[in-house]
Amino acid sequence: MRLCLFLLIAGLLDAVLTHFGIVSGIVEEGNPMMKLVIEKSWSYFYIIKIFLPLVLLGLFYLRPLKGWIRTLLVSTCVLYLSVLVYHMVWIVLYFNTAS
């Protein structure tokens, strides 16, 4: 359950930081599929970032995540953690060069 909540929070944080970075012209979206979604609408981008983890939370209540599904969830959380570290790096670099 905590992994699912982490995934939801990490996804939201990733979405907000990505939005800020792209609108500010600091970064570009690295995921080609999400880049297409962003070009279509920021609303779709946020819906996807919120909806997918919520579906996972719902599935967790229906059936506990075990075995290879849990392994995939842990892997996804590690991936999101690395994305958030990347966000922190460009934010620190941006504010250090802006001063």
Q: What is the pLDDT of residues 43-95, one digit of tens each?
A: 999 999 899 888 877 777 777 777 887 888 899 899 999 999 999 999 999 88
Which segment of 11-15, 28-32, 56-60, 93-97 scores lowest on mean pLDDT? 56-60
Q: Which residue range(s) make up the domain with 40?
A: 2-98
Count of structural domains, the chain: 1
Nearest to 33 by CA among 44, 25, 23, 17: 44
DSSP label at residue 26? S
Q: What is the per-residue pLDDT for 78?
A: 95
What is the rounded CA–CA span in Å between residue 41 and residue 45?
Answer: 7
